[in-house]
């Protein structure tokens, strides 16, 4: 027990300054923390470094007195539960330690239950560990946060605060954040991914994705996002995934642009389909787009980029031309950019770029239901 106390105290004393430092970095960027509950900020007050006379078993014990044991899911024949708590009140204090404890190619689902808190760590789920679930306590109260950039991590693709390379990954009620400094105009090497999803058959429910440039690397495979909150500026959902975004909120945090200016300073998507043979694309259904700046719905990172927005509400932050061909008119023949039954000022299609498709019911239908990601083969009900 004494040994545990020492470990807990070391963990706390090293966490608190980092937490304060990162909070300071984060505070000037309004959308970042404004959605997070006060409970996150309170967390630091409750769990301050104990002073000398508080350092006894009673005060340490009291931290764990409020541990919500009743919320912890039970193990079943096909699910192992691994518990993560910042204060050391259950199996692990970091998410990565729990991932490390998952057996290779386990036939069970490994449910990593993550207590409320901000976990400052870079997390990697290797290809050898499929069927892992990250279950937080709410995307406003539980977050995995790091601050790598393209420069600090051998390129954008490795900058993710969380990197998932395995299949059948699930996340519920948790946020993924990259709090690297927001790049000013023209700055290079500052791309900062919050999560890279490089495995097939991944599902995200009630999750938050926070960053600026390149927030959500929807890299490859079939992915499902439901009721998620996604914040960024330039290309903030990018990659070559085949993904279905249902009832998600996309919030641009690009700098405000003066009224009347044609200046565009962001893009919601940059889909990376490279050839007609690839069955990839992003479908957004029943979503909303808002925030600040002036942004394109998508730009053609690769020539066969494919994105559809359906039944989506868009504010006036959407540039009237809607989309961008990456300044390569040759791509106009091969990109597939469609809009269907969207609403709001930003959905006005009268000045759209010529290659943008106003989809009819028949053309839209493949993107409107879950067969787009073969969900019947793999997607579990919530
Ligand atoms: C987690 O802690 C519980 C309770 O102490 C224990 O039964 C379980 O085996 C631990 N799990 C792991 C993966 O260490
Ligand atoms: C798990 O798989 C990885 C990659 O194949 C391997 O490097 C590692 O040694 C394996 N771990 C165990 C415990 O078998
Ligand atoms: C992962 O889960 C899927 C579906 O639940 C199952 O088909 C697959 O066999 C599991 N993977 C492993 C390695 O057990
Ligand atoms: C991440 O944050 C830490 C602590 O503030 C800082 O020391 C480090 O330089 C930052 N890394 C990057 C790439 O900005
Ligand atoms: C996730 O959060 C939602 C909304 O607060 C809640 O209804 C749901 O039960 C939570 N799910 C899990 C698995 O904790
Ligand atoms: C990234 O590295 C390049 C080359 O060293 C440098 O010019 C640039 O300023 C760096 N960017 C950031 C955000 O540090
Ligand atoms: C979209 O919203 C409509 C109306 O609220 C609802 O009928 C439909 O089931 C929703 N579709 C999806 C895919 O969420
Ligand atoms: C079109 O969008 C409206 C909301 O603006 C919704 O009520 C209606 O169900 C949608 N139509 C179809 C065919 O999805
Ligand atoms: C759509 O935009 C055009 C100008 O590009 C404008 O004339 C028209 O009134 C707008 N339509 C709606 C419904 O706002
Ligand atoms: C939808 O558009 C396609 C391609 O232009 C056309 O072949 C088809 O007849 C249209 N369907 C409906 C229901 O309008
Ligand atoms: C879903 O879309 C597929 C392909 O467009 C179609 O065959 C199927 O009937 C649709 N299912 C539903 C429930 O609408």
Closest CA to ligand 1's atom 10: 91
Whether 20 shows a pLDDT value over 50: the answer reads no
Q: Which of 340, 356, 360 to mutate to test the pocket of ligand 10 (most atoms within 8 A of CB)?
A: 360
208-216 mean pLDDT: 97
Annotated catalytic residue within 56, 235, 361, 374:
235
Whether 37 shows a pLDDT value over 50: the answer reads no
Q: Tell me what percent of the residues of the chain surpass a pLDDT of 70.
A: 84
Ligand 9 within 6 A of CB of 350: yes
User: Residue 21's pLDDT is what?
Assistant: 36
Ligand 5 within 6 A of CB of 206: yes
CA atoms of 19 and 15, how far apart (whole Å): 6
Ligand 6 within 6 A of CB of 189: yes
Answer whether 0.75 is exceeded by the pTM.
yes
Residue 162 C-alpha to ligand 5 middle, in angstroms? 21
344-369 mean pLDDT: 98
Q: Tell me the pLDDT band of 60, cut-offs 50, 70 and 90.
A: low
For residues 8, 10, 11, 13, the Cα torsion angle rounded to the nearest 10 degrees is: 120
Q: Which of 285, 286, 312, 341 to mutate to test the pocket of ligand 8 (most atoms within 8 A of CB)?
A: 341
Closest CA to ligand 8's atom 7: 311
CATH architecture of the domain 79-377 equals 3 Solenoid (2.160)
Contact 308, 281 (CB under 8 A): yes
- For the chain, the structural domain boundaries read 2-65, 79-377
Q: Report the mean per-residue pLDDT for the chain.
A: 87
Q: How many CB atoms lie within 10 A of CB 50?
A: 18
Ligand 4 within 6 A of CB of 180: yes
Ligand 10 within 6 A of CB of 360: yes
278-284 mean pLDDT: 98
User: Residue 355's pLDDT is what?
Assistant: 98
Q: Tell me the pLDDT band of 259, cut-offs 50, 70 and 90.
A: confident
For residue 98, which atom of ligand 1 is closest to its CA?
Answer: 13
Report which listed range, 29-38, 43-52, 303-312, is most confident.
303-312
The order of strands in the sheet holding 266-271 is 123-125, 162-164, 195-197, 216-217, 237-239, 266-271, 295-299, 323-324
CA atoms of 105 and 269, how far apart (whole Å): 33
Ligand 4 within 6 A of CB of 152: yes
Lowest-pLDDT range of 17-21, 59-63, 210-214? 17-21
User: Residue 61's pLDDT is what?
Assistant: 53
Concatenated DSSP letters for 185-229? TT--S----SEEE-SSSEEEES-EEE-STT-EE--SSEEEEES-E
Q: Tell me the pLDDT band of 164, cut-offs 50, 70 and 90.
A: very high
235 catalytic residue (yes or no): yes
Ligand 4 within 6 A of CB of 191: no
User: Residue 209's pLDDT is what?
Assistant: 98
User: Residue 229's pLDDT is what?
Assistant: 98
User: Residue 15's pLDDT is what?
Assistant: 30
Q: Tell me the pLDDT band of 260, cut-offs 50, 70 and 90.
A: confident
Whether 18 shows a pLDDT value over 70: the answer reads no
Ligand 9 within 6 A of CB of 348: yes
163-176 mean pLDDT: 98
Whether 47 shows a pLDDT value over 90: the answer reads no
306-322 mean pLDDT: 98
Residue 365 C-alpha to ligand 11 middle, in angstroms? 7
User: Residue 210's pLDDT is what?
Assistant: 98
- Which residues sit with their C-beta closer than 6 Å to ligand 2? 104, 128
Closest CA to ligand 11's atom 4: 366
Whether 247 shows a pLDDT value over 50: the answer reads yes
């Amino acid at each position: 027990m004494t040994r545990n106390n020492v470990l807990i105290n070391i963990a706390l004393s090293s966490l608190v300054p980092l937490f304060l430092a990162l909070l300071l970095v984060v505070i000037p960027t309004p959308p970042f923390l404004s959605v997070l509950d006060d409970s996150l900020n309170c967390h630091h007050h409750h769990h301050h470094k104990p002073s000398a006379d508080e350092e006894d078993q009673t005060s340490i014990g009291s931290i764990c007195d409020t541990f919500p044991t009743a919320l912890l899911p039970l193990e079943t024949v096909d699910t192992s539960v691994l518990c993560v708590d910042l204060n050391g009140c259950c199996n692990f204090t970091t998410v990565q330690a729990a991932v490390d404890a998952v057996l290779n190619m386990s036939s069970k689902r490994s449910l990593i239950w993550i207590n409320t808190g901000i976990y400052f760590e870079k997390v990697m789920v290797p290809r050898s560990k499929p069927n892992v679930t990250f279950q937080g306590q709410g995307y406003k109260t539980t977050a995995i946060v790091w601050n790598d950039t393209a420069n600090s991590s051998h390129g954008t693709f490795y900058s993710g605060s969380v990197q998932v390379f395995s299949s059948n990954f699930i996340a519920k009620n948790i946020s993924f954040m990259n709090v690297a400094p927001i790049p000013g105009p023209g700055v290079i090497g500052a791309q900062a991914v919050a999560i890279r999803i490089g495995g097939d058959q991944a599902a995200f429910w009630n999750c938050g994705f926070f960053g600026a440039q390149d927030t959500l690397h929807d890299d490859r495979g079939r992915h499902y996002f439901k009721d998620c909150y996604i914040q960024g500026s330039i290309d903030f959902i990018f990659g070559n995934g085949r993904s279905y975004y249902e009832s998600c909120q996309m919030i641009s945090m690009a700098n405000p642009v003066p009224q009347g200016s044609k200046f565009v300073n962001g893009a919601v998507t940059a889909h990376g389909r490279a050839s007609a043979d690839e069955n990839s694309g992003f479908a957004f259904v029943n979503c909303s787009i808002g925030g600040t700046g002036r942004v394109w719905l998508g730009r053609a990172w690769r020539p066969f980029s494919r994105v559809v927005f359906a039944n989506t509400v868009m504010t006036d932050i959407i540039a009237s031309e809607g989309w961008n061909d990456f300044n390569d008119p040759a791509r106009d023949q091969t990109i597939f950019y469609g809009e269907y039954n969207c609403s709001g000022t930003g959905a006005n299609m009268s000045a759209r770029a010529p290659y943008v498709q106003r989809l009819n019911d028949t053309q839209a239908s493949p993107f409107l239901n879950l067969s787009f990601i073969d969900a019947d083969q793999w997607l579990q009900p919530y």
